[in-house]
Amino acid sequence: MATRGLPRLFKLSVRLDGSSGVAPVVRDPDGLKNSGSRHILLLVHGYNNSYDDAEESYGKFIDNLLQELAASRDAPDAIAKFHWPGDESTFFGTTAGYAFDIDHARDAAQRLATYLTGLPIP
């Protein structure tokens, strides 16, 4: 059985640098949309975490996952890490920031859905 090899990693985000709110569209700096990837594993981290917390969690998860995927013929050819907005929780505290985060999470989810439906199907 042939294996696919290790998947490429991509970042997707609707975070705004230095401010609260949600970007108007999903940012795709690594070019997932034009990568030709057919089998994408989308990782979505909790929305009330800082960027650094999400990256740390993604890193640990992916490190563990890659060991298993290396020998798999069913491995995805891409892994996309989606970054929600949500730094209000880290600034105001989890409970106080939740009221701000939930509206941003809904907006972010809609933008992610729009992005995903716009991916080309090879």
Beta-carbon contacts of residue 39 (< 8 Å; ≥ 6 apart): 75, 76, 77, 78
Rounded CA gap, 85 and 111, in Å? 12
pTM of the model as a whole: 0.82
List, in sequence order, every residue forming a beta bridge with 12; answer none if it has no partner: 82
Tens digits of per-residue pLDDT, 49-99? 778 888 999 999 999 898 888 778 888 999 999 988 766 555 555 555 566
